[in-house]
A and B are shown apart, each in its own frame.
Chain A
Amino acid sequence: MHNLLTTIAAVLLAVAARPAWAGDPEYPVKTIPAALKENAHIVKRLEETTIRINDLTDVRVNRHYVITVLDEAGANYAKLAVSYSKLSEILGISGSLYDAEGKQVKRLKQSDIKDLSAVDDGSLMTDERIKVHQFYYNVYPYTIEYEISERSYSTLSIPTWIPQSNSDCTVEQSTLKVTAPADFTLRFRSYLYNGEPVITTNRDTKTYAWEIKQIKALKPELNAVEFYRRTPAVFLGTTDFELDKYKGNSNSWKGLGTFFYQLNAGRDVLPDAAKAKVHELTDGLHSREEKIKTLYKFMQRNNRYISIQLGIGGWQTFDAASVATKGYGDCKALSNYMMALLKEAGIKSNCVFAKAGENAHTIREDFPSSQFNHAILCVPGEKDTTWLECTDPYLPAGYLGGFTDNRPVLLLDEKDSKLVRTPVYGMDCNQQIRHINATVDSSGNMMLSAIKVTSGLQQDDLRNAIHRLSREKQLEMLRKGLGLSSYDIVDYNYKELETATPAIEEMIKVKGNNYATVTGKRMFITPNIFARDGIKLELDTTRQSDIRLNMAYRDIDSVEIILPVGYKPESVPTPVSLSSKFGNYSASVLLKGNTVTYIRKMERQSGTFPAAEYPELVKFYGGIYRADRNRLVLVKE
């Protein structure tokens, strides 16, 4: 009886919620509460997402949403883009456009939907395609309504619910309903959602419902935590899942790791010629480190990154034999091939799935699920573990760089799959030490030579630049990047240093035109020539997000400037010393005879800091900004 009642109620609700397609005004703009227009470019009036999991290979997703676009800045969100591939299908798309009063202006015509290739620039080929639609309307505000129904053939990942799609999007109402067979375990992890989903049980299904109303706009915040931790969000998963006939269990990282391990097992068989090559290269070597290094170099020299992801190819690697003959592969294929090379040399290693990116240091560690987009290789050792990034042809063996450093990653193993952490590169590693010798003549022109040694994460970009850019382009980079008003690069040189932490030495000779300003008998000069990197931040008293600083680093500049004779100081900047939770900074100028000595030291910590500390960060950076631009004024005697 109880069941029947709820069913009737659900049916009634569904009827009530169904949009009327003509006649009465729909979603007139005037009914939007004022608070939801503040700082917003779009307002999500209504969103209903229903997910029906029929079995492990049949997930139906229906999304119905209504968005009011308040102004041109929100116009991009009115575009519809739905991707699909061999593992999913779009069953239907419908839509409507309404003007501010809520009068229907247009309905979506199927012939206006474009079906395009979605092969990204980084890939040679994938199955990804995309259907796009746009109403093209520019009388603001206006409202669009879409309903999309899709089918996924896999349960490896279930769509995520984040009603507020962006910081300048506000939400009137959004619901998520997930229906699954009653004996099925639905896992979920929510953020900033108060309460639990409402669960209703029918004879053989169970429905979980989430609902949220009135979400206000968020302000963009510098160095904020991930967006999904700042707004209501629900992530979903199943325990058992299926991906193109392969079955797995994601109740634990171990289960998920084992699945990926097995999906890729047995693909590490090398052709005989490659095996022979491994022995030729490594049999004479004694240490494990030397073998790893030699094989890594060999792999880097003979292969390149080409991404082909067809069908299950996003998760399953090309086999090692095909990489050996073709000389290319994606991150999985190259890591798997490297693993095969090491195996032939008697060294065990594991493929590791990672979420890569300089701003991707976290995953939802308490919610095992497929959160990865990259593969690297881990070579466990008794003393040291060696990490290998197999898609980069320039990295030294064992160094990962900012793309995959300091984060939880999933190690794939036959028996012992688990989350492990990649290495942390600390302040002592990420340094920039620079010595500058400069001479300024009486008209303000400067000749300088500088030697700069950058290491660790601070040299990642530079390493790329010196390998990837022609000398011409490097020069262009130097011409744009030095921050002087007008200058010529007389000479420059880069040298990779043979140090444990990767480091690059840069030598430059620069002719700076009018570096010092000469006005009559005075000369104005900024002794800090290159390191002007403080920023003016705005004071934000309503800061919500914790502050996340990714990289700890240390910069030291020592500058010696020889001035023309006959000047005496009129105004010399006083030494500055700043200290905060975020780091320490000091700068001092000393004038002795006609020689200026300037020393600047900046140490920045990494970590997550409470939002309340933001004013201190503003003050710290503001102080550096000013101190970095302090001028020395001299008068002719």
Chain B
Amino acid sequence: MPCNCMRYIPCLLTCVVSGLLSLSALAQENGKIKFGKVSKEEFTDKRFEKDTGAHAIVLSEIGSSAFEADGGDLRLVYKVHRRVKIVDKNGFDVATVRVPLYKGDTREEKLLNLKAAAYNLENGEVVETRMDSKNIFNDKQDKSLLVKKFTLPAVKEGTIIEYAYTVASPFYRYLRSWTFQGEYPRLWSEYSVAIPEYFDYMLIPQGYEKFAIEKKDYSRVTFSFRTERSGAAGPSDMVTVTPGVTTYHWAVKEIPAIHPESFITTVDNYVRKIEFQLSAYNWPNEARKPVQSSWEELMKDLMKTEDLGGVLNNNNGFLSGTVEDLVKGAKTDQEKAQRIYNWVRNNYTCTDHSALWMEKSLKTVFSGKSGNVVEVNVLLTAMLRKAGLKADPVLLSTRDNGYVYQFYPLLTRFNYMVVHLTIGEESHDLDASEPLMGFGKLPPVCYNGAARTIDEFATPVFLNADSLREQKFTSVLLGKIENGAVAGTFMQRPTYFESYDIREQIKAKGRDEYFKKIAKSYTGEIELTSKEIEDIDSLELPVMTKYEFKMQVGGDDIVYINPLMGEAYKSNPFTSMERKFPVEMTGVSDEIYSFNMDVPDGYVVDELPKSAIANFNETEGVFQYMVQQVEDHIQLRCRIKLTKANFMPEDYSGLREFYDLIVKKEAEQIVLKKKK
């Protein structure tokens, strides 16, 4: 895992429930609220209003999760009580609340005890308007998700709204997480979780805002279960147990809002949050039954699970014919793998690029020619194995989905699958879900730290943006000036992922449109001829763009030419003055530009830009701008090279200045004058 982010992941030692948690409860327990009791002072509280321009402020939010007896079983009870002040009209959105409820085949979550009210200060008095329960709507999204929606009445600028509800859930593997930070500032945000000794949950905290409360307490709680007498309709029995219960308690105080920024994996990586993962069952009189405790065990489980690795243990005979046809005549293992990969990539449509399970059988995926990213890449794995190759599925989390927590095997953090292929000493990472991706290439969103192979060692596969070199070469040759126009040739090998975008553009709109766009990107009038794109179908390689051009340079006596042509950085990519979070780019960039021209007949060089070299943080970035004139030949070589993809927030201003300098230098002109 790259260390850049470590600072922001708190150094709270992660602990299995039975471990130790430092007690650091602070005295001031504000944030306590009672439904319906809103004081006049809350309307005038000015915290956060002045400088952030917040449209709403969460005055207090208190949540809890606890277990309750439910007939013969346990259920998880999640309670929320939230009080929000709406500062201006743009904060009205908080008055509309959506509560997602999940539904399984036989069991479902239920919304209980919903109360909601709005409070306005009228003539110095707090006036309450309760929401009528008729105004709760059921919006059934699909067969497994129902969203309950409501909006509060009498909402204006300055209104305080309040609501409280309970969700009773039979799915106790899904202990709800809590996010202490979001779009609006919060004066108080608190969550408590009470876990009976029957379960071990992993706590997974992230973010860097300090907790005002962080503690745990032990107590005994009585649960009364009702058990049906076997087969009969007679009276049921009551069984009472009194397990030990651990209650965890976290709260934050006066926490600012968090906003998205550019050049970042996802701002969610830096939000204060706590998540949970069931790690073991401790049923009375039974041995502790771990759910997962190590990466190796998790992966061993997944290798057996039918809707993931399990299908790879089957014979999958239905693949044989196709695989045999594909590899027929292939001389090397590499060639076999390439043929299979190309076939899957070209023939299968990925229906969802965020997935963790197979939803259909492998056979259905195979014959239906479509599947989610897991299904397509499991199919690829199965076919490669069918051809006798060593291939394993690899789970990862894409950049926008956040980092994978390395210290504990947390399956739900993953949302993507690729394939790791090993041929002798060499290995290749494959993704057949993107129709234009080359053999051995992964989309940039996959470069998000360590991925894990579904094998018995849970072998990590390091996919760091720092290891992704993105090189670009450009060469421009200028010729004669005639009738106020300069002729030249342009050749460029863009980076692999720029090439990927070009392939997509061409696929969608055609070559003509692509070159039209290039012509438009020049400020002056330009005419392009001999337009070519090479290697467009060699998906493993970057493309090569070539064209000849004639560009108007005007003015007969004096000609001004920017040697960078259309390739100059015209504006600084870092627009903000300051930065709170690290800068996280998708790869390590290295751009080389070369320019050659012979001074046209009848002209002399009046002025040339001067050569310059600049370094950023000594070796982390270099900008070279080297100009040379040998007799009538002018040569320029310009290079911008970074040595890493991620930078700390304190590097930001330096990085911005570095690009300012590049913008400035790359705007400089060559001046030619007509001989008198």
Q: Which A residues contact B (CB, under 8 angstroms)? A: 71-73, 105-106, 114-117, 119, 124-125, 134-139, 301-302, 304, 306, 308, 325-328, 393-394, 444, 467-473, 476, 479-480, 484-486, 488, 513-514, 517-522, 524, 536, 538, 570-571, 626, 629, 631, 633
Contacts and interface: CB of A to CB of B under 8 A. Distances in A.
Contact of A485 (B129, B147, B525, B663): B663
B576 interface: yes
B369 A136 contact: yes
A241 B571 CA distance: 60
B354 interface: no
A124 B142 contact: no
B54 A470 contact: yes
Contact of B610 (A136, A486, A520, A631): A520
A124 B96 contact: yes
Interface string B13-52: 0000000000000000000000000000000000000001
B668 interface: yes
A629 B435 CA distance: 41
B182 interface: no
Interface string B129-149: 100000101011111000101
Contacts of B140: 117
Given A476-B576, A486-B660, A522-B671, 7 more contacts: A115-B142, A137-B349, A470-B52, A470-B53, A514-B667, A570-B558, A571-B555
Nearest 4 A-B pairs (CB), nearest first?
A470-B53, A136-B370, A514-B664, A326-B153
A454 B509 CA distance: 38
A521 B368 contact: no
B234 to A, nearest CB: 42
Given A484-B571, A488-B577, A522 B607 contact: yes
A394 B92 CA distance: 14
Contacts, number: 153
A77 to B, nearest CB: 14
B607 A520 contact: yes
7 contacts: A73-B509, A125-B149, A304-B156, A327-B129, A472-B52, A513-B664, A524-B667
Contacts of B266: none
Most chain B C-beta atoms within 10 Å of own C-beta, residue among A73, A327, A570, A629: A327
A328 B141 contact: no
Contacts of A308: 137
A interface SS class = mixed
B348 interface: yes
B332 interface: no
Contacts of A125: 137, 139, 149
Given A117-B139, A470-B55, A519 B151 contact: no
A304 B89 contact: yes
Interface in B561-587: 569-572, 575-577
Contact of A444 (B571, B575, B664): B664
Contacts of B55: 470
B507 A72 contact: yes
Nearest to A480: B575
Interface in B133-185: 135, 137, 139-143, 147, 149, 151, 153-157
A614 to B, nearest CB: 17
B53 A519 contact: no
Contacts of A486: 571-572, 659-660, 663-664
Contact of B53 (A106, A119, A471, A626): A471
Contacts of B239: none
Given A73-B508, A302-B156, A119 B558 contact: no
Contacts of B555: 571
Contact of B96 (A306, A471, A570): A306
A632 B660 CA distance: 22
A325 B134 CA distance: 14
Given A304-B155, A472-B52, A485-B667, A139 B346 contact: yes
A517 B153 contact: no
B347 interface: yes
B315 interface: no
B668 A137 contact: no
Contact of B558 (A114, A514, A633): A633
A137 to B, nearest CB: 6
B609 A519 contact: yes
A623 to B, nearest CB: 11
A485 B571 contact: yes
Contacts of A302: 156
Contacts of A521: 607
A72 B435 CA distance: 10
B227 interface: no
Interface string B623-667: 000000000000000000000000000000000000110011001
